[in-house]
Amino acid sequence: MTRALAIAAVLGALVVAGPGAASAAPPNAADLEAELVCPVCETTLDQSNAPVAEQMKTYIRVQIAAGDTEQEIKDALVAEFGPQVLAEPPGGGFGLLAWLLPLGALVGGAIAVGLLIRAWTRRAAPPAADERLDPELDRLVDEELARFDG
């Protein structure tokens, strides 16, 4: 149970750390096009040939050539088209919910499975010593069995 919670916590930390870790990578047009959404057709830029998507691709290449970082390009596009231009929700504010809700579901599911397993294993366990027959009753049963055998 504790191990499952620890694994879930580590997975959650990786998920939450993901966007921040990605932003440190050097700008790459193809990567950025896969991480940004066309505001008209709502697919990633690399999947879209809508006019506005083509304008955004051109903008990305121009800004990379101008020396902008990946984060600067993303920030500029968010300033134009809003946070929904990011394929991955931002790691803070309301966008944090998109990361935390699946993690919460994972932890909740692990707890539920743990509780169920615990309940089932208890039900299947053999009776404890103090739950055995009363000695007097046990003697009577032995007598009856002896009479039956005799």
Q: Residues in the site for other proteins, rule: CB under 8 A?
A: 39-40, 51-52, 54-55, 59, 79-82, 84-85, 108, 112, 115-116, 118-120, 122-123
> Is 3 or 123 the residue whose CB approaches other proteins more closely?
123
The rounded distance, in Å, linking the Cα atoms of 40 and 36 is: 12
Question: Which C-beta is closer to other proteins: that of 16 or that of 103?
Answer: 103
Is the CB of residue 107 less than 8 Å from the CB of residue 4? no
| Cβ neighbours, 10 Å, residue 81 | 16
Please list the helix, strand and coil fractions of the chain in percent, rounded to the nearest 5, in that order.
75, 5, 25
* Residue 51: CB minimum distance to other proteins, A: 4
Query: Is the CB of 59 or the CB of 91 nearer to other proteins?
Result: 59
Question: Least distance (Å) from other proteins to the CB of residue 5?
Answer: 17
| Cross-strand bridge partners of residue 95 | none
